Amino acid sequence: MSGQASSPNGSFTNVAAGCSLREGGPSSSSSSSRQSSSAAAVAASGASAAAAAGSLAGAAAAAAVAASSLSEPQAMALQQHSSSSTTAGISSSGSSRSTERRFANNHSSSSTTSSSSLAAVVMAGSGGGAVAVSAAAGSGSGSGSGTTSSPSTASTRHGLSSGENNGEQDDIIDNDEDYSRDRDRQRQYHQYQSQVSSQRMEVDNSSSTSTSSSAQLQQQQPYQQHYNNHRQSTAASSSGGYLKSSSSQLPSSSSSQQNQNNQNYNTHPYYPGELTVYSWGRGEDGQLGIGDTSDQDEPTYVDSLRGVGVKQIACGSGHTVVLTGEGEVYTWGRGDDGRLGHGDNGWKYVPRLCQSLTGQIITHVTCGSYHTAAVSSNGDLFTWGGGMYGKLGHGNESGHSTPRRVEALVGLTIVDIACGSRHTAVVTNKGCLYTWGDKENGVAGHGDTEGHQYTPKLLERLSGKNVVQISACGFHTGCLTDLGEVYTWGEGKFGRLGHGAERNSHSPRLVESLLGKRPIQITCGGFHSAVVTQDGKMYTFGGGEHGQLGHGDKVNKVKPTLVQALDGIFLQQITCGWSHSVALTSEGEVYTWGNGDHGKLGHGSGKKVSTPQLLEKLVGLKVVRVASYNEHTACLVEPQSLSQGGSRRAAPGTMVPISAAFLHDLKEMVNDEEYSDVTFVVEGRHVYALRAVLAKRCEHFAAMFRSGMRECEEGAVIPIPNMSYAVFLLILEYLYTDSVKIALEHAVELYLASDLYQLAALREMCCVVVRRGIGSENAAYLLQSAHDAHCQVMKDLSMEYIVANFDVVSKSDCIKAVSHGLLLEILSLRP
């Protein structure tokens, strides 16, 4: 093959040279005198400044008014501190509603109460005059709960191999590896897993540059730039925090004028500045992440990911993976073969942090039927899960229940990955493609079909091409080059390769009918494939038995065929399951079609749909990414904001962007003597705060300041006994910002502190942290700590995990931390 690849602008790039397996590697301020107003004056000022009693908006307004009673240096400092922040011009109040799935054994747990968001406090005019503008509303509970159904106690898995299907495209594929399934044992304690209440956690204020949609790209740009812009525009990103206006409803975002004027708004669970996750479809394996095994036939908010800061999502067969903005990985669902990466084969019904990747900053994740893969910031590839056919790339067929680096690729920089049922493929930063795993039907693309490829091997057929994207699912693979060429290979049944026939292809073959159409994405489903072009059009080909091609019929297509029903609607991403398809438009709307079993289309039923149908449940939300695999679907939704170009209206429930710097400023005011009028002493150390904020946000402190106790008089130092300095600072941070990052080691004590101060939302946030972070190496420590602190709720959470995972926990060193009495209690609870 020639080492030269031409680019659209006539230049040539040597891309083959970098494709050797061992080449192309990764190159307080000073104190001032404090003059505080009396408690009555503060309360009166707060009441006149804001009508949103108990809200953070009211607290911020009260703080601004209370500034007039501070000393002149304090007022001037507060003015300077706030003047750089963005002013939000909507004053509102609202309450948040959250729901909680109760433990099956009626464990005591507190539901959340109204919790307020942020407000901008702007100092205006000369002489330190204060004007309070903007307020906040709480988060609504996740909409679209969907119809639930009882999980089956057993299900039949159908084999899929060449020549065995007799034309029927079966979308259930958990049968390539013959598993013995003991569902009672796997789920003996799944009833304890619960969907957590809607709570705000740490604000992800990392700003990322928003890119224009593909529709705005100029045709004279090089093709590589088109592809890069497409990938950036479909990547989940956020820019700062958001305020929510008074109503908890959102405007319709339909392109039609009629729908734009429709006032039947949707409800969007709110968290400042982060993407939210919705999932729907089959839930039998816990893959929806909602705390149980019920199916959902409409998009359902994954409340347990609130505050995590998700930026990418991927679906596998029975499991789901998300990547956060901090490079952390959370997995949940079916745990057979260790595909979740937690060191065991247990099933998880809510997202759980993959602690084995601690220390690695992950930049990309994906998953296949039984395995998962991730790329780190330095370009290393990690794989885990079922190892049959050698698809993990570790030189054998052994499985791994924790992530393991693929040593054969060390020295290369991986930029894209794709996982099929039995094989894996990666693209390097040099545009080189490596594949490994099963060779049957030519799915690996190396020209042979016998045996398995146990380590990554360069796909020489494409060594002269600059590959920019790869996709795999089931038994075929597709890739895209920088010249807009699409190559496919593997099993050709149903015409899924797009070559005009149903013949297999043992090595990459150009899809000639797509030449000139400028594709920017190729996606492989179980029995079909789809392509999105630079002008937002979509072509599908392959099996159509379930209507998954979107042509209004159930006819197979052996060549790419334009989806007429979406012509005129600009598409930016397509994802294919085994027998359904999901398309995302440049306006953030979602269309689904194909097999509706288990509700995976999201239209409220299990009916098949042969033409693309708008997903009404998500209308009014800005979806930025969609994902699907076998029988479930998921998407990422950004906080609703005024769209670029003004096509979206500001309406009740709209998220109004505010400065990320302002959110940071609020946190910086915690324990700052310059902005304080009350002092506490905790573990012998002084802690500073502003009475107006504490009184507005916490009834405990409000009652304290109204009590007239000597300790609360001006200039007095208020002692805080039986609490650590670190935990009291977390309490203050939560009261100031309505968000906080909780370390696992503080969860038990912070729970007790939030119970003391009657902060129900913060209590539940502590439970969320424990549910996410508990593992075999720390469960016993958490149990003993909760027991010693007389924290029954935390003890119950720890006990449930240990009983359900006793075989693993009992072999860990942490079991030695458990007292003899607790150990007997654990053993008594085992079945």
* Under 8 Å between Cβ of 780 and 818: yes
Closest CA to 128 of 73, 46, 50, 58: 73
Of the given ranges (127-141, 152-166, 216-230), which has the lowest mean pLDDT? 127-141
Per-residue pLDDT for 459 more than 50?
Answer: yes
Across 413-429, average pLDDT: 97
The structure tokens listed for 320 are 């789901």
- Looking at residue 19, its pLDDT comes to 55
The structure tokens listed for 327 are 């490079």
Share of the chain above pLDDT 70, in %: 63
Backbone angles phi, psi at 754, to 5 degrees: -65, -30
Closest CA to 692 of 131, 123, 62: 62
Per-residue pLDDT for 528 more than 90?
Answer: yes
Which top CATH class is 232-652?
mainly beta
The distance in angstroms from the start CA to the end CA of the chain is 63
Residues with Cβ within 8 Å of 213's Cβ and at least 6 positions away in sequence, in order, are 233, 570, 572, 586
The structure tokens listed for 506 are 């043992």
Of the given ranges (145-149, 391-395, 539-543, 825-829), which has the lowest mean pLDDT? 145-149
Whole-number Å distance between alpha carbons of 287 and 739: 27
- Looking at residue 713, its pLDDT comes to 67
Closest CA to 424 of 392, 401, 446: 392
Closest CA to 630 of 405, 406, 473: 473
638 or 74: which leads in pLDDT: 638
- Strand-pairing partners, residue 121, are 132
Q: Which helix (H) or strand (E) holds 299?
A: strand 296-301
**Segment 159-181, tens digit of pLDDT:** 333 333 444 454 433 444 433 33
Q: Rounded to whole angstroms, what are the CA distances from 626 to 13, 255, 313, 612?
A: 33, 19, 8, 15
- Coil, strand or helix at 202: coil
Whole-number Å distance between alpha carbons of 718 and 239: 39
**Segment 804-826, tens digit of pLDDT:** 888 888 888 888 888 999 999 99
